[in-house]
Structure 1
Amino acid sequence: MYAPADLELDLVARSLAAFEFARDKGGVLVGYSAAALLGADCAPLDAPAEVAVAVRTNARPGLRIVRARIEAGDVVARWACRVTTPLRTAWDLARRLDLVEAVVAVDALARKGRFAPSELLARRAKAPAARGCRRLDGVVELANPRAESPMETRLRLALRRAGLPMPRVQYQVCDEHDYVVARVDLAYPAAKLAVEYDGAVHYDPIVHERDRRRDNDLADLGWHVMHLCAQDALPSQMQHTVARIRAQLGMRTPRGG
C-alpha cells in the first residue's frame, strides 16, 4: 500500500490499508480496527490492524488476520470500508481482553453505538458456547457508556479495585436553582469532590482558561476539583493517584456520609 510520506501511520491509516489488502477476500475490519473507524477511542498505541477474511490468507507483519465469515447484520460501512458494528466489535473485544481493557472497549463502543452493555448478555444467550463469553458478566457490571475517555474508565476501575466507592460518571453539578454549573468526569457528590482527567486538549490556552473559570464556579459551591494528567494515570503512578483521591475523600466526606 502506498501513502504520502508525511502521513501519520496510526491505527486508522493501517486499518484502511488492511482493508484494501483484504477487500477481495471478503474482508471485514474487526476488533480494534473496527473500533478506530467507528470513532471509539479504546485501542493501545501499538495495536495491530485487524481484519476478518472468509478465505485462507497468509499472515502479514503488523496485521492480525481472523478466519471468519461475519454476518451481514453485524457489518456497517465506515470510511468506504466494511467494519463490524459497535455491538459486534464490543462482543469480540470484551471476550478476549483482560477485564480493565475489556471495560474500556465496551465503554467507548457503547457510547458511540448507543447500546446498553447488557445487550452483550442478550447476545451471549444466543451463542452460549462462544469463547470467552462467560466473563462478560464482570465486564457488563463495570461498564458505563457515560465515560468519555479510556483514562477515565481506567481510573474509575482503579478506584473500585482499591475499595473506594464507585464515583459518579460525567456528573452534573447544579446550584441552588438547579442550574447546571459544570459537568465533571468523576464525582463523589457527598464529599463535593470532583476528579478530572486532563488530556492534551486541556493544555490549549482557551480551554485551560475555561477550566479555571469553571473550577472557581465549583469552588463557590464548596466543591474541590482534582486535575489529573497522563502521568498520573500511568500504571506505575496509579497507586499514588488513588491514595491522593482516598485522602481527599476521607477529609471531605461528612461523618456518617
Structure 2
Amino acid sequence: MFLDAAAGAGPYRRTDLHSAGLADSGIARALRDGRLSRVCRGMYVPGPQASRSRSGPDDQEAARHILAVRGVLARLGAPAVVSHVSAAVLHGLDVWNLPLDLVHLTRNRASGARRGRDLHLHVGPLSDADVTRVGGIAVTTPARTAIDIARERPFAQALVVADAALRAPHTDRADLDGALRAAAGRTGVRNAARVVAFADGRSASPGESLSRLLFHRSGLPEPVLQREITGWNGERVATVDFWWDGTPPVIGEFDGESTYGRLLRPGQTPGRAVVEEKIREDLLRELAPEVVRWTWRDLKEPQHLLSRLRRRLTPHP
C-alpha cells in the first residue's frame, strides 16, 4: 500500500521503508517484482527503473541518474554541490560517451576527495559564481561544469559538453572563458583551454560537434556552421549544419537517430516529415548541387565520408 501511494516520490532509506511497515522480506520482494528500485547504495524509490542504454544516455537513463543524484545527496547528509557529468545531466547538456555509473559531487575544501561504488566526491575551490540551483539542488553552472569535465575527460567527450554549455540559457563564451581563468593552476587546465578554444555553440548536437572535430583533425577546410539558405525568390529554404564555399558550394548534413535527422514538430507525422525532408533536399540540390549526408556509422568509420568530402572540396581545373 505504501509503495502505491508513494509512486514517484523518494528516495527512501531502508529505515524509512521499515517505518512505513515494509520488512526486509517485503523490500526484497518489491525489488524483484519492480514495485521498488534501488537508485544507489541504501536508497530506494517506488516503481521500476529504466535499464541502461547501450548506445548512450537517453532520457530514461538521464532520469535514472538524477534519481541516483538525489539518493546520494540524501544519504550523504552533509552539503555538497552536484558537479561534473552529474551536473551536466541535471542541466540537460549532451553527455556523449560519458559514463553515468557514479554520482559526482564537489565540496569547497582542499582535501577529503574519495571514490566509492556509486559516488565520486571531488574537492576544490567553489565560488558563489560557480554554483546555481536546478530543481532545488545546488549544481555547478554549465560553464564550470564544462571546464571540470574538460580538465579530466578526453577532448571529444569534453567538446560535446562545452558546445552544449554554449547553447544553454544564460551561458556564453565569456562565462566559459571566466570559468577557465578561475581554474588556472589546477590539473588539466591546459586540456580545458584547448577545448574552450575549439568550442562552438552553433554545433547543435553531439554528432555535429564530433563531425566538426573530425574535419579539423583531417585537414578539411573549415566550414560555416548553421548557414541559412535562401531560395531564388529570397525566401528562407533551410538552415544547414555545414557549408563550404566553392564552385559549386558544398552542403554537409549530419543525420542523427530521428527521421531524416529532424525531430518531428507538434502534430507532424513521420510520413509527412519524410515528404517535407524530400522537398527540402530537392530545393537544396537546386541551389547547391553538392549535398553530403552522413550518420553515426560514418563517424565511427569515417574514411568513406572524408573521401566523399575531399572529392567535392578539391578545386577542379
Question: One fold, TM greater than 0.5?
Answer: yes
Q: Is the 8 A contact 2:83 2:106 kept in 1?
A: no
Distance 1:112 1:68, change over 3 A: same
Pick one of 159, 163, 166 that aligns with 2:219. 163
Q: What pairs up with 1:95-244 in 2 under 5 angstroms?
A: 95-117=151-173, 119-190=175-246, 191-202=248-259, 204-234=270-300, 237-244=301-308
Distance apart, 1:210 and its partner CA: 2.1
Q: How much does 1:208 deviate?
A: 2.7
Contact 1:48 1:62 in 2 (8 A): yes
- Worse-superposed segment, 51-60 or 141-150: 51-60
Match of 1:33 in 2: 86
TM-aligned CA deviation for residue 214 of structure 1 = 0.5
CA contact (8 A) 1:86 1:113 kept: no
Question: Which secondary structure does the structure 2 equivalent of 1:200 belong to?
Answer: coil
Moved more, 188-197 or 156-165: 188-197
Counterparts of 1:21 and 1:57 in 2: how far apart (Å)? 15
Displacement of 1:61? 2.3
Shift of the 248–122 alpha-carbon distance from structure 1 to 2, 3 Å rule, reads same
Identity of aligned residues (%): 27
Q: Please say if residues 30 and 51 of structure 1, whose CA atoms lie closer than 8 Å, have aligned partners that are also in contact.
A: yes
Q: SS where residue 258 of structure 2 aligns?
A: helix
Output the CA distance in 1 between the equivalents of 2:183 and 2:295: 41
Aligned equivalents of 2:94, 2:277: Cα separation in 1: 23
Q: CA deviation at 1:35?
A: 1.1
Distance 1:63 1:244 in 2: 45
> How far off is 1:104 after superposition?
1.6
Residue in structure 1 matching 2:66, options 15, 40, 43: 15
Structure 1 range deviating more: 2-11 or 194-203: 2-11
TM-score after normalising by structure 2: 0.70
Q: 1:171 to 1:244 in 2, by over 3 A?
A: same
Aligned residue type for 1:73: A
Give, in whole Å, the separation in 2 of the partners of 1:97 and 1:118.
22
Normalising by structure 1, we get a TM-score of: 0.85
Q: Radius of gyration: which is bigger?
A: 2
Give the 3 Å change call, closer, same or farther, for CA 128–71 of structure 1 in structure 2. closer
Q: Using the alignment, how far apart are the partners of 1:209 and 1:164 within structure 2?
A: 32
**1:30 Cα deviation after fit:** 1.0
1:183-235 alpha-carbon deviations (Å, 9 max, x no partner): 1111213242211111121254333322211001111213332221221121x
Equivalent position amino acid for 1:30 in 2: S
Among 244, 248, 251, the alignment partner of 2:312 is 248
The answer for unaligned runs of 5 or more in structure 2 is: 1-42, 53-60, 261-269
Query: Does structure 1 conserve the Cα–Cα contact (< 8 Å) formed by 2:65 and 2:100?
Result: no
Structure 1: stretches of 5+ with no match in the other structure: none
Contact kept in structure 2, 1:22 and 1:51, CA below 8 Å: no
The structure whose residues are more often helix, as a share, is 1
Moved more, 87-96 or 17-26: 17-26
1:151 Cα deviation from its structure 2 partner: 1.2
Contact 2:241–2:254 (CA<8 Å) still a contact in 1?
A: yes
Higher relative contact order (CA 8 A, sep 6+): 1
Question: What displacement does 1:114 show?
Answer: 4.6
* Separation (CA, whole Å) in 2 of partners of 1:68 and 1:140: 20
CA contact (8 A) 2:83 2:139 kept: yes
Q: CA RMSD in A?
A: 2.6
**Structure 1 residues 124, 112: CA separation in 2 closer, same or farther (over 3 Å shift)?**
closer
The separation in 1 between residues aligned to 2:273 and 2:120, in whole angstroms, is: 38
